[in-house]
Amino acid sequence: MSLFYFIAFLSILFALLVIFSKNPVHSVLYLILTFFTFTIHYILLNAQFLAVVNFIVYMGAIMVLFLFVIMLLNLNKDTEPVKKAVVKIASVVGGGCLLATIVASVKALGISEPVVLKTADLGLVKHLGKVLFGEFLLPFEVSSLLLFSAMVGAVLLATKDKSNA
C-alpha cells in the first residue's frame, strides 16, 4: 500500500510541475512522467491492458508528437497573441467550476463503499482478446479496414502530384 501512496504522490507532483513549468518542453516531459505514473497505477490495479495502451499510445505516440510540435513551433513571448478580456473571464469562470467540482468530490470522498471485484484477473488482456476476437470480430476487422483506408488516403494526400511538377 505504501507503493501506491508513493506513486500517487509522484503523480500529483509531476502534474503540478506540468502546470507550473515555464518552459513548454519541460511541461511536456513532466506530462510524460505523469502518464508513466498512471501506467504504474494500472499495473497495481491489475489492469495490464490499460497499462500497455497508456504506455504505447499516450507516452509513446501522442506525447512525443506534442514534444516535436512544440519544439518545431519555437514558441516565445513575442509571437503570443494578446488575449481579450472575455477569454480571461471565461477561463476564470471555468477554473471556478473546476474548483467547485473538486471540492464537492473531496467532500463526498468518504461516503461510498469500496468496490470489491469478484474475479482478480478482470483486467487481463486474455479476456479482452476472447471478447474482441469472438463476438466482436466483424466490427473489429471493419474498423481496422477503415483505419487502413484512412492511412492510405492521408499518404496519398500528403504526396505531391508528379504530373503538375
- Indicate whether this model's pTM tops 0.85: no
What is the pLDDT, as a whole number, of residue 6? Answer: 94
The CATH number of the domain covering residues in 2-123: 1.20.120.1200
Across all residues in the chain, what is the average pLDDT? Answer: 83
Q: pLDDT digit string (tens) for 95-149? A: 999 999 988 888 777 666 766 777 766 667 787 788 888 888 998 899 999 989 9
Q: How many residues does the chain have?
A: 165
| Per-domain residue ranges of the chain | 2-123, 127-159
- Identify the band that residue 25 occupies on the pLDDT scale cut at 50, 70 and 90: confident
**Cα separations in angstroms, 124 against 36, 72, 116, 127, 137:** 19, 39, 17, 6, 19
Closest CA to 38 of 22, 57, 21: 57
